[in-house]
Amino acid sequence: MSFTDDPEDRFAPDSELQTRDGQVFTVERSRQFKARWIVKFEGVDDRNASEALNGTVLYIDPDDYEAADDDLDNDSDADDGYYFTDLVGLTAILEDGTVAGTVTEAYDRPGQSLLEITEPKGSVSLVPFVEEIVPDVDLEAGTVTLSPPDGLLQEH
């Protein structure tokens, strides 16, 4: 599954994608099949090796997207977006300023995007990443603001 605005570029031959722990995969070739991409990586040469990678989340090197951002026109109407990887590590706060925990993972699933929040006493809650529940993301402040319905967070 692709979550990029430009899959033709991301999956072009010789493009590099990496896992969170830094393992690098180089694209040998790719093609689109319906709504998904089939990507052949260098060194992944049989079905078993390919199936072993199922579910692996791949990213571009952060320096690559920072360089791409530098190339964009600095129009005031430009979207100040972020990547899901930018959310991990942010402090989750309630609208009254109470610390609700830390974002320990961000999942962009087809049915629903979710934030995994590890709460202060160690409980883990999955929070739907929708504007009604997560009304603000402030990368500069290092926070995501939550407005959860009763019972969504285990410790609040």
The pLDDT of residue 144 is above 90: yes
pTM (2 decimals)? 0.52
For domain 84-146, the CATH class is mainly beta
Please report, for the chain, how many H helices and E strands are present, in that order: 4, 9
Q: What average pLDDT does the chain have?
A: 84
User: pLDDT tens digits, residue range 49-81?
Assistant: 988 888 888 887 666 554 444 444 444 344 456
pLDDT band at 34 (very low <50, low <70, confident <90, very high): confident
Token pair of 150, please?
A: 């009763």
Q: Give the DSSP letter of residue 57.
A: -
Each domain of the chain, given as residue ranges in start order, spans 7-71, 84-146
Token pair of 90, please?
A: 């942010």
In the sheet with 16-18, reading across from the earlier edge strand, the strands are 16-18, 24-33, 36-41
